[in-house]
Amino acid sequence: MRRIVFILLVLIIALKSNGQEESKRNLNFIIMIDGNIPFQGDVNLQLSIKNKLIETIRVNYIPGDIILDDSAFNKIISMEEKSFRLEIYYSKLHKNKIKSYYYNIILEKSWLKNSFNILRIYNLENKKNKKTFSDIEDRDYTYEIDSPNGSILRVKR
């Protein structure tokens, strides 16, 4: 009898904890920095939404996918703002030292519904990129975006 009660209790707990797991939304979003796709540990992302206050939503990233909780995705889609900021913290090893970079990219809310997005970031500390691209708003980087709905391409020198 005790065994049956124990098994039922374990089964109820397992079913309840399984049902509480929030569903995720994977967005096909490829990020390239200086022509390379960063690994999961090299890059951290968050979305910043400016309404009455600045709200920050942490997101997970694996190469090719931005992963959002369904509740966060629905919250972004339902907001009045048409755009938000994707904040990217990127670290790489360069000459036995870790260099850290911060990129702040303006994204349109409608892009979250695209079947794919490709974001290419060019660090202007790189001589090749500096010769090719103009900076934006006095930042040390520039970026381009491709999606099924169109592209944002930067002026090249």
Token readout for 20 is 């509480």
Who's near 139: CB < 8 A, 6+ residues apart?
Answer: 104, 124
Q: Does the pLDDT of residue 57 top 90, yes or no?
A: no
Which pLDDT belongs to residue 134?
A: 76
Dihedral over Cα of 63, 18, 114, 82: its sign: negative
pLDDT in tens, 9-54: 666 766 655 544 568 888 888 999 988 888 767 888 888 877 666 7
**Chain CA centroid to CA 110, Å:** 15
Which pLDDT belongs to residue 21?
A: 52
A 10 A CB-CB count for 70 gives: 11
Tokens 């974001």 belong to which residue?
Answer: 119
How many whole angstroms separate alpha carbon 66 and alpha carbon 97?
28
Which pLDDT belongs to residue 135?
A: 72
Q: How many secondary structure helices (H) and strands (E) does the chain include?
A: 3, 9
Q: Tell me the whole-structure pTM to 2 decimals.
A: 0.77
Nearest Cα to Cα of residue 27 among 133, 87, 114: 114
How many whole angstroms separate alpha carbon 50 and alpha carbon 81?
8
Q: Does the pLDDT of residue 123 top 60, yes or no?
A: yes
Cβ–Cβ < 8 Å for 66, 27: yes
